[in-house]
Structure 1
């Protein structure tokens, strides 16, 4: 199994466990994501985005509403004013050895380790939008993510992620 950490920093030599700002109730850990879900981090660190996936539980009405005219089973939506920053940001994907990591969230593909970890590889990712579209992911832009967030939270979609929403534009 391949596990990755994404960063805008090019020269990380070791990953030390630390307390995550939005999970201060947890002990310090190193966070990684599995290969299946890595695409959710092809964005600048602070970029707010909503990612959702179609599954058998999605109602016909929600399928029309959220997937209507796309052939993709995955949609990523970002606020429009982030477009230029996304296009101009280089992301570095660090592969970390999986031995010390334990599953934290299967739906999101998150794993954690309490040990210091040294990366085994670093890959530079430029033009991440092109990469996403090449994976048959529907990438959408909207002026404001709030209406989509509210719609997702009251829908039949269960496989979704709302990332860095504190950085979303105000309503």
Structure 2
């Protein structure tokens, strides 16, 4: 599995390989009240090659294809990232609509079924390397997130509320 959708498809990533039908719901992290089924396209799929709760900053320069895409994760999450089994569910893109002014996701407002069984994505660290994405492992994400925004790069900051918190819970504050 490449971790990317085929033409005409969108993907949903999950650590649960037993989902048979996706029903719209309001996600716990939702910033809107509508119920959706969420998927991503090829541009945004790599932002989900992480454990679900893992904070990460994904950035790229849309005006310069020669600049490598960079994903950053806190070092306290790296071992969890190496152990996580992630699955990709494939969907027909025609069943979804782009979400937002600058679409970062695609949504369905009715129940949808995947095109087939989920496929294991494989080694998440190796997947980044295979696709030429630099994976930075940092002590903390916030300084990098600030730099990415200041440089005007395209970016996605996901699960940033978990930054500074490891998979097992809070870590002591660094002094």
- TM category (shorter chain) comes to 0.7 to 0.9
Q: What is residue 113 of structure 2 aligned with on the other side?
A: 118
Root-mean-square deviation (CA, aligned residues, Å) is 1.9
Q: What is residue 142 of structure 1 aligned with on the other side?
A: 138
Q: What is residue 25 of structure 2 aligned with on the other side?
A: 18
Q: Does 1:104 align with 2:99?
A: yes
Pairwise CA distance, 1:23: 2.4
Q: Report the more deviating stretch, 84-93 or 98-107.
A: 98-107
**Secondary structure of the structure 1 residue equivalent to 2:12:** strand
Pairwise CA distance, 1:151: 1.8
Mapped to 1, the partners of 2:115 and 2:11 lie a distance apart of 10
Contact 1:37 1:108 (8 Å CA) reproduced: no
Pairwise CA distance, 1:164: 0.4
Pairwise CA distance, 1:49: 0.4
Pairwise CA distance, 1:24: 4.7
Mapped to 2, the partners of 1:106 and 1:128 lie a distance apart of 29
Q: What is residue 29 of structure 1 aligned with on the other side?
A: 36
1:106–1:95 CA distance, 2 compared to 1 (3 A): farther
Structure 2 residue corresponding to 1:165, chosen from 148, 151, 160: 160
Deviations 1:22-80 (A, max 9, x none): 325331010000123211111100000000002338xxxxxxxxxxxxx7520000000
Contact 1:72 1:136 (8 Å CA) reproduced: no
TM-score, normalized by length of structure 2?
0.82
Contact 1:93 1:124 (8 Å CA) reproduced: yes
Structure 1 stretches of 5 or more lacking a match? Answer: 58-70
Q: What is residue 11 of structure 2 aligned with on the other side?
A: 4
Q: Report the more deviating stretch, 160-169 or 93-102.
A: 93-102
Q: Aligned residue pairs: how many?
A: 157
Mapped to 1, the partners of 2:54 and 2:162 lie a distance apart of 7
Contact 1:33 1:110 (8 Å CA) reproduced: yes
Q: Report the more deviating stretch, 83-92 or 105-114.
A: 105-114
Mapped to 2, the partners of 1:105 and 1:37 lie a distance apart of 14
Pairwise CA distance, 1:118: 0.6
Contact 1:72 1:137 (8 Å CA) reproduced: no
